[in-house]
Structures are given as structure tokens and as C-alpha cells.
Chains A and B, each alone.
Chain A
Amino acid sequence: MNALIEFVKPILVPLICALVIVGVLPLITGYIVLMERKIMADMQARLGPMRVGPHGLLQPIADALKLLLKEDIIPDEADKVIFWIAPLISVTAGMLAMSALAIGPWFQVADLNVGILFVVGIGALGLFGIVLGGWSSNSHYSLLGALRSAAQLVSYETAAGMAIVGALLLAGTLSTREIIMAQSDYGVWFIVAAPVGFFIYVVASIAETNRAPFDLPEAESELVAGYMTEYSGFRWALYFLAEYTNMVVVASIATTLFLGGWLRPFAGTPAFNFLDFAPSLLMLVVAGYSFYRAPKQPVKVQKLFMIGVGLAFLGLAGILAAPLSASVNAMLPGLKPGLHGAFWFLSKVGLYIYLFMWLRFTFPRYRFDQLMRLGWTFLIPLSIVNVMGIALALVLHRQWGWGHVPAFGLTTVLTLAVAGWLAQAGEKKEKEHAMAGGEA
């Protein structure tokens, strides 16, 4: 028994963190889907799910149950083993990638010294789930979706990688924790120093996660459902879980690299210390709104549920406010960075995902050749120029003693000029292409 305790002791905290990720992530994913449907409904002058629970709050649970109970159909001519295992690969890769991310200073499974590369590399392995699933379904639509997915990921992974390199140059390390600490040392987030890099990463990460306007692998008007066409029931749900997990992963990477990770906005400036109250206030507002809506629910159960939601948020507000009092802070000094760090990290991830959704409901879809042209002739050259620009700024700063502002200002302007030139050249090419297409 003692031996077992000794054995478990060093891996206890990582083990708990891992269990939390595996256990809570599907639930969070369900609620991201609900949020997406609600936001979509709001933008489209509808209400969205309203039936299961007040304001559809229990919809994800009902959906998960329904999908669990559905018949698991495997097509006759499918390659059964691969068909069976493909969604698992996608989900596993997504969850494994979460393990190297630092969600707040205390919540991290493993602080690898190749952390960010680990997240990117393992996350990319999820592609095999898509490709193999598409192949094993033995259907043209699935296969075309899988092929598009593979081609798209390989193309945009390059641009995303180069954008990441830009931020890594600034940080000088690969460990997720140290990258965030480096931003704390600089005093600004890397989005300020490398705005172009952030932009490239946003675009490339949308393409990598197959979200609109780059959702060609599952373009419903062309390929029915792409690689998921033949999937049903829980296996289909696993693909969905993988897709949203990947969204969380890319959002976390962007947060870590460019948005200061768990750091509060203006973390180094005491004048902005009042922002420490923001988490509690936000929770209070949500709780207040729940109480306000509670009497308007049609059924008693729903009223009680709404009050319950309000109380839960009230409790969260209390927990987030607790470390602000001096006595609690003195007793448990780690509580504040841990809790508030997680709050800020998750808020930034949420905002990033909201951006994804916003773009999805606004834009039409790219055509595949346009997507490839955008990737290869605009984003990849721009990302290389961006890396050179950041390197130049670092040289100006470190070797020649320029200040941060002029050095990074100059290189950003230069990079933007190159971006403008690339865009113009691309437009010209596009026009020629359109003309040629018309003549053919």
C-alpha cells in the first residue's frame, strides 16, 4: 500500500488534471455547441434551442443521450476495424494535445520543454482520424472530404507553424508556461509585438479546424457531410467532440502565444488592479440575470432550475472573490493566481471561439482552389516575412539598442506593406484566373 502511495505521489497532480480534462471536456464541448447554436440563432433572428430545460440549457445532455442510444450503423462494405477506430484517433489526439497546455499557473498535466510543439504535433495527428474515417467509409463523398481535409491541413499547418515560430522567437522557449512568463516579463502580450503573426494564426487555425469559411471537408452543399457522411450515433458524436476539442486546442495555443495566457489584461500595471474584481462581477451579473429570468419560466421545475443556475454562479462569484480578501490570500497564497489565471485563460479561449463562430455565420465558403491559393500565395509567404520581421526587430533591439516601440513598429509596418503587396498581386492573379476560367 505504501509503495503504491509512493508510486502515485509524484504523478498525483498531473493525474487529477488529466482526469479533469477527460471528464469535463466533453461537457464543455456540449455547452460550446449550445452556445454556438444560441449565438447563431441570435444572429439569424431566431431563438435556437428552447425546449430542453429553460432556454435549452439541458440540450447538450439530451443530445448526448440521444446519440448514445442511437443505432450504431457500420456500412456493409466499410473497412470495419478502421471505421470503428478512426473517430477514437481524432478524439484521443485532441485530448492528448490539451495535456501540455497551461490553463492557469496550477493547472497543467505536464510542463514539457517542447510544450508548444507537442500540442501542435499531437493535435495534427487527429487528421488521421479524419482521413482514415473518410477512407474506410467506402463512399465518394467521405473520401473527397478526407482528401480535402488532408490537403488543407498540410497547407495551413505550414502557415500556422511559421506564425508560431514568430511568437517563439519573442519568447525564446518552447514550454507553454515559460512563454506566458515571458509575456509577463515583456509587460505586453505578443499580439502587440506581432499583430501580423496573430492574424496569420487566426486564419490558419480556422482552416486547420475545418471551420467556415474554410469548412470544405464537410461542406454540406457539396459533399453532404464530408468525411462524416457514413457515420451515425455515438461515433459521429465523437467526431464532433474531436472537432470542438480541436477548436479549444487552437484557441488555447493562440491564447498562450499571443494573448498572454492566464495573465490578466495589464497584469503589470497596478493602476488596473480593479480588473481583479471583473471575474466575480461577471459571475454576479450572470447570476442576477438568471434570477431575473427565473419567474418568467413557464413551468415550476424550470423556475427552480433557473434559480439553481443562479445560485451556482453566485457560488462561483464567491469562490472567485475569496482570494481578494487579504486573510484568505495570506492563508492560501496560490489560490488567486490559480483561480483567476484559469478564469482569464478560459475567457480568452471563449472569446477566440466566439470569433470563430462569428466568422462562420457571416461568410460564404471558399472554393477549394481559392483556399489553396490563399494559403500558398498569401499566408505562407507572409508568415515567412513575419518571422524575418520579428527576427529583425529582435536584432535591432538587442544588438543595436533600439527601443521596443520603434523596432517592432518598423518591422510591423514593413510586414504590413509586404502583406498589401501580396494581396494586390494575388488579386491580379485571381482576375486573370477568372478570365481564363470564363474562356475555357
Chain B
Amino acid sequence: MADQRIPFATHADATVLGADEIILNMGPQHPSTHGVLRVKLRLDGEKVIGSECVIGYLHRGVEKIAEHRSYTQFAPYVDRMDYVAAVSNGLGYCEAVEKLLGTEAPLRARVIRTILTELQRIASHLFWLGTHALDIGALTPLFYCLREREEILKIFEKYCGARLTTHAFRIGGLQYEAYDEFEKDVERFCTPFDKRVDEYESLLTENRIWVGRTKGIGILSAKDAIDYAASGPVLRASGVKWDIRKAMPYAAYDLYKFEIPTGKNGDTYDRYIVRMEEMRQSRLICLQAIENIPAGPILGKVGKVLKPPPGEVYHAIEAPKGELGYYIVSDGTTQPYRVRIRPPSLINLEAFDKMIRGHLVADVVAIIGTLDIVLGEVDR
């Protein structure tokens, strides 16, 4: 019979930790840890008094692989890190290598890169919104979000043939010319999109339950956010006006006007508002960009075999989830000596413990959701 029942709670050693604490293990197989994140929670009743994220279940050694591939060969690998924002990953890597080579992509290529990257930001935020709302229990927004995301993926598919791991850009510019209807497709998506965002907001923004579940949850002050090196919407929701697109413009961002939305309290609700506003801003960037895509070549002059001069480079872009940085060391051969990637998800996840302390178990899923982590990127 049931001789070896699992006791309800593993009581920690009373003399060391106090008798009231229990340890709860969430993940790595749990519907709402967004993949294979494992969180060890120290609980006092339902209250979280400490946490530890155990990562590495999806580790594939992306950085090590880079040392055995040529610069061109490695480019598709970066798509597999943040697989819901593959275009942004590719942009960061291509620009980093271009910087190392000392070249720059032609203007036409940079404008098309900007459009695709902003569409990818919208797609990534839509996916975040859908899953975040689903974690908090709202079933319906997910389907509306995926409906819109589908339109973006269709544009990607028409452009380069792939939907998810696009490998859209090449070092030095683009491989594919924009297809004939490209501007029209982007416009058809962007024009009604702000109404769609309003629609999602009508379901959530003023919903009492949503506000109750997100306001005051997972507060990260501006100082803490900077101390934890948080970036992207997590940082901006805490009131820090920092966006690499403005601070160190890359691609063609210096050509377009857009706002940096910021929050005040740094709680889950503010992060939600910031991301919603970012989608609107991305839409404006796309609309500005398709008005005038300059003519010209799409691929700059780069050799068939890439042999950057010895040296090192750090290049960061504003990926949907935050600062995505590539640090590449070249020893003058065809393969990088070392590639180090700064994944925004991992750095933002480090603030998790700070954010969850004092909240309840149910808030764990809300905070994991609001950090917008992708485990492919955290573990690499």
C-alpha cells in the first residue's frame, strides 16, 4: 500500500532555516515556466521568501559552436537563440561582423533590415502578450495576438521563405531583394494595427482582475534595474529612458522619429503598458520606413571568404527583450576566436529573485511572464 507517500512539504531543517519554510520546485516541466526554466522557491506558507533559478536545460553551446564555424556559417545558429525574435538576433550578429570587417551595409539594405526588425519586435511582443495573459488566466487574447503575428510571419515567409528561424540577413547587407508587394503588405498590416492594439487593451488594461494581478507585483526600482543591468522594456518600465535605438543608433533608426515609452513604478502592469506602447511605436517606424525605401544595391562589398582583421568588437542592438550584445574576437582567420553573446533574457532573469520576494506563488507565473524570457536565449 501507500507506504512511501510523498509528504506534503519537504520541511527544511528546523534548526537551520526555521520550521515554517518549505521548498517548492517549479519546472523544468511546467506549463508556464516558458520552456524549461526550473525555479526552486523557498516558501513561508504561500509567500515566497527566496528563489533560485536553475537554468541550462536547453544549453546547446552556441558560443562554442561559433569557434568551429566560419563567420557566414555561424549566422543561422543565432536564429535559434531567441526563436520568437530570430530576425533581431540575425541583425545583431550581421552588424557585429560588419563592424569587425569595417564595412557597413548599403542604405537600402539597412532600411529593409529596420522594417523587418520592427515587425519582428511586434511579433515578439504579441507572443509575449498572448502567453503572459494566458499565464494570468485570460484565454482569449492569445488567439487575437497569434492572428496578428500570423500576418507578420506571412510577410517573413514571402520575403525569405522561412517563418520562425528566418536567417533573413547576410553579412554585408541582404541576400534577397524585397519582393514586389513588400511595401503594400507591410502597410496592409500596419495601418489597422493600432486599432488591434486598442482591442487587446480593451480586454485587459482596465480589467479589475488584470489590474489586481499585475499592479504592484514584481516591483523593480530604477536603481535596482540599473544595478541588475536589466535592459529593454524591463528597464524602461522602471522609468529609465534608455533605448539603444536612440542612444547608439544602428541600422537606419536615426532616420525615423519615434518615442521611448517609459513606466513609473516598475511593476508588472507598467511593463505591460510599456510593451503595448512599443508595439504602437514600432508600427509608426514601419509606416515611416515604407514611405521611402531608397533605391540602390542590397549587398555591400564583402569578400566570398570573410577574414576580418585581428581585433575585437562589441555591438549591441535593442532586441525586443532588451540589449542583445555580441562580443566577437577575431584572430585573423576565417573562424572567430571567441564569440560571447549578451542575452537580454538571461540578464533580466537575474532580477527575478529581487522581484518575487514577498509575493505569492501565483505571482511567480506573472513575473516569469512579464520578464519575457525565452529559454533558448537564456541557456544558449
Contact = CB atoms under 8 A, between A and B. Distances in A.
Contacts of A325: none
A435 B361 contact: no
A370 B133 CA distance: 18
B120 to A, nearest CB: 23
A78 B4 CA distance: 9
A435 B360 contact: no
A369 B362 CA distance: 10
B212 interface: yes
A45 B6 contact: no
Interface stretch (B167-175, B201-209, B297-305): B201-209
A277 to B, nearest CB: 36
A365 interface: yes
A140 B41 CA distance: 14
Contact of A437 (B31, B137, B358): B358
Interface string A146-174: 00000000000000000000000000000
Given A44-B144, A140-B8, A435-B216, A364 B362 contact: no
B360 A364 contact: no
A362 B139 CA distance: 7
A213 B362 CA distance: 14
A406 B135 CA distance: 47
B212 A367 contact: yes
B2 A369 contact: no
A222 B358 CA distance: 18
Contacts of A212: 137, 139
A221 B216 contact: no
Interface residues of B, number: 43
Contact of B207 (A46, A143, A363, A439): A363
Contacts, number: 105
A440 interface: yes
Q: What class of interface size applies to chain A in its complex with B?
A: 35 or more
B216 to A, nearest CB: 3
B134 interface: yes
Interface string B356-376: 011111110100000000000
A240 B357 CA distance: 36
A33 to B, nearest CB: 15
Interface in B134-157: 134-140, 142-144, 147
A143 B137 CA distance: 20
Contacts of B241: none
B109 interface: no
A360 B139 CA distance: 8
B8 A143 contact: yes
Contact of A77 (B6, B30, B204): B6
A78 B217 CA distance: 37
23 contacts: A44-B143, A77-B2, A78-B2, A79-B2, A138-B6, A213-B209, A219-B362, A221-B31, A221-B32, A224-B30, A361-B139, A361-B140, A363-B137, A364-B137, A366-B213, A367-B360, A368-B46, A370-B209, A370-B213, A437-B216, A437-B358, A438-B219, A438-B267
The 6 A-B pairs of least Cβ separation, nearest first, read: A365-B137, A440-B358, A434-B216, A44-B143, A221-B32, A364-B138
Given A221-B32, A360-B139, A365-B138, 8 more contacts: A77-B4, A140-B6, A222-B365, A224-B30, A362-B203, A364-B133, A364-B204, A438-B216
Interface of B: 1-2, 4-6, 8, 24, 30-32, 46, 133-140, 142-144, 147, 203-204, 207, 209-210, 212-213, 215-217, 219, 267, 357-363, 365
